[in-house]
Amino acid sequence: MPRSGSGSSSGLHGRAAGRSHVSRSYAANTTVVQVKGGGVNRSDVATLLGDVENQKAAGGILITLEKPTKQMRTEAADAGRFASKLWHDKDYPRIQILTVEGLLNGTEHIDAPPQLNPFAMAARESAREKQTELL
């Protein structure tokens, strides 16, 4: 769900949806994504956590150009973790802070259950038969 409007960079920037075979609930397996360019601080993490709770999402990801401060990392860690029963009861950080640089150079990655891929669910087209005669 892209953010609309103009002005300062705030609010929800996107969601990644997954689905549990147990509950078939999309909301409980949604990850909220926010992107910030600069001037990030602890309150940005608190805002993301509030958005996660308002959206009834499993977790949130803050992507930023700047490295997170110690206070930001503490706020994210204090948010706790969530478990995915579908993926062998593995637990994941509820709030993650990632940098654009880390994502691009491969030193950071999103630690979350696999997301729902709408293209994987599309039916495959069977091989077409060649037309051998005119109709």
pLDDT of residue 67: 95
Residue 22 domain flag: yes
| Number of domains forming the structure of the chain | 1
Residue 8 domain flag: no
- The closest alpha carbon to 34, from 1, 8, 12, 56, belongs to 12
Residue 123 domain flag: no
pLDDT tens-digit map of 33-85:
999 988 999 999 999 999 999 999 989 999 999 999 999 999 999 999 988 77
Q: Does the global pTM surpass 0.75?
A: no
pLDDT of residue 126: 66
Cβ–Cβ < 8 Å for 36, 63: yes
Cβ–Cβ < 8 Å for 62, 45: yes
pLDDT of residue 61: 96
Residue 117 domain flag: no
How far, in Å, CA of 24 to CA of 122, rounded?
18
Question: pLDDT band for position 2 (50/70/90)?
Answer: very low
Residue 101 domain flag: yes
How far, in Å, CA of 112 to CA of 93, rounded?
8
Residue 111 domain flag: no
Residue 28 domain flag: yes
